[in-house]
Structure 1
Amino acid sequence: MTFLEELLEDFQKMLEFRAAVGYATVTFKSCVTPFIRFCGVNHPEEKAITQQMVDDWLAYYAYKTAQTQASFMSCLRQYTRFINSLGKEAFIPGSDYTVKRSQYLPYVFTDAELGQFFDGVDSLPTRNRKFQRAVILPVLFRMMYCCGMRPSEPLHLRCEDINLMKGDIYIRQTKKNKERHIIVSSDLLELCRRYDKLAGTREWFFQRTDGIPYDTGWMTKHFHLCWDKSGLVKHGNPRPYDLRHAFASHNIMRWIDEGRDVMSILPYLSTYLGHSEFRDTLYYVHILPERLRKSAGIDWSQFDTIFRDDEKNA
């Protein structure tokens, strides 16, 4: 039995126990399952949940509020206590457990790596039960990259949110309660139309056979599966969110190559990405290769002002 299988088996036992004594299980499924899959993918050789796994998860997963993180920690404590009750080891975080979040350095795809990754996505087998993922993933990951979406955004799309005639995608309230519309390219629109015909009548654009949308844990698992299948070597910790980073950084690099005034265009990119603050968009310039950061199209004085203010408020 793999580490992931053992964690899932113990988790299922806990859910069955809670249901038997009349306690709810829904919150546990949504809070803990993505963490379990993260541990299984990133620590497959381990035998027990460790403090390092918890720290890695908190640094990896950006909870929207302190309340949602506290909810996760509460569920995790009960899960790891249950594992201990089975006579197994597991790190139990305290009620006030926190980890200082370090700045995550995105994995910036080269054009060649991006092409190789999508070759891996497109080569998934289409037989038997795996047919559905082979149809969904090429559309899902291309939508994330071509539209710069956050991982949860395409998974929460209802069919009514996508106008397949005009190529308009409506992103409902997500991070900081912002809504926005995205206009997609003709190539992606045609891909979405073909997928829509195959998927048939449903509520969610990317929907499981039981009628509910896929979750980010499922997405992350299959991102790494496609990465491994593509033959790419892992440097750092690539993740689905890096497709959004790739969209932003590749657009900025293209503007630089075209000799355009990057600083005058960035506000439009900021709106497209759904950023609430301009400094969030400027971050993508900050992580560009050095030769591009020295471009005449980038006004670094704006960075000095913004990040100096951040340091004063820190």
Structure 2
Amino acid sequence: MDGTRTARLMDGTGLAGRITEDVAKTAADITLRTGTVPCLATVLVGEDPASVTYVRMKRARCRRAGIESRQVALPASVSTGALVDTITALSQDPGVHGILLQHPVGPHIDERAAFEAIAPEKDVDGVTMHSFAAMGFGLPGFASCTPGGIMRLLDEYDVDLAGKHAVVVGRSAILGKPAGMLLLGRDATVTYCHSHTADLSAIVREADVLVAAVGRPRFIAGADVKPGAVVIDAGYNPGNVGDVDFGTARERASLITPVPGGVGPMTIAVLLAQTVEAAARQLAVRS
């Protein structure tokens, strides 16, 4: 594409709204047929302002979608053992259908141990090793919400991934790694990049589909975006800035997610969708 064209924006806000409408219909049907309201339990450790705001946002979205939101607030000083016990109790509670552990949880806590206390059938945030393995093998389970949202965005805009070179910049356990596995499952050729990658710019320039998930503002320059590439910016940094230099990248990409309004809304929408799916499975509600 030439430099006079700008990329089409991938509207995550609009798609998330449509998904949430569908979730509300499904939740209402489950409630009508079983007398049970789908329930998402959110565990919040401490009072990190960003986490508190995010949890409040999720609770509001749950209300709009007809999902019960149960919040469990624990002090920042909670031990790993006490946190694991809390999550184990929620896993055993038949009135809870999905569990979300808001992270970060504090440096003194073994976050992985806490995640693994979530029963696989209630892991609607897709953070357990069981969920990752199921996703990698293409078996039933729940995807990590942000990567799952990315895939729904790609589907919404009819992005054919087969044979495409997808480059994922970032390798976190809940974003970069699962995003690459989901792309691989759609027959893309996947390259993972990270802080030790040599000549990152050269690899990024080869990407037909670029997923930026490194957590550094404007880390990827627009000049490094391959003309016509699809750019998914999963970063969110202070000042509403993503991991990609949006202004310059938009002059080269064919499709690009804005920040905000792209990947972010999709994360919560997928969380809600997977919560009602979990409730339907646990309550044996057939579609």
- TM-score norm. by structure 1 comes to 0.26
Q: Which has the higher helix share?
A: 1
Q: Which has the higher strand share?
A: 2
- TM-score norm. by structure 2 comes to 0.28
Structure showing greater radius of gyration is 1
